Structure 1
Amino acid sequence: MSVMIKESPISEKDMVAQAEKALADISRIRDRVGRV
C-alpha cells in the first residue's frame, strides 16, 4: 500500500473507494468460505 501512495498522491475519495472495495472482497471471500 505504501508503494501506491508513493507513486502518486491519492485523494481521500479514492482511498475510501479502495477501502470499500477491499472490504467487499473480504466479505465475499468470507461468504464463499462459509458456504464450503
Structure 2
Amino acid sequence: MLLNCLCFLFVYYLHYRVTLFEAKCVNFAITFMKL
C-alpha cells in the first residue's frame, strides 16, 4: 500500500515538473514572438 502511494506521488511530481517546464517554454515562445 505504501509503495503504491510513493509511486503515485513520484509520478505526480514528475508530471508537475514537466507541466511547469512546458509553461516556461510557452511563456518564452510568446515573449519571443512579441519582439
Q: Which structure's CA Rg is the greater one?
A: 2
Match of 1:28 in 2: 27
TM-score by length of 2: 0.73
TM-score by length of 1: 0.71
Aligned residues: 27
Structure 1 vs Structure 2 CA RMSD: 1.3
Which consecutive unaligned segments of at least 5 residues does structure 1 have?
Answer: 1-9
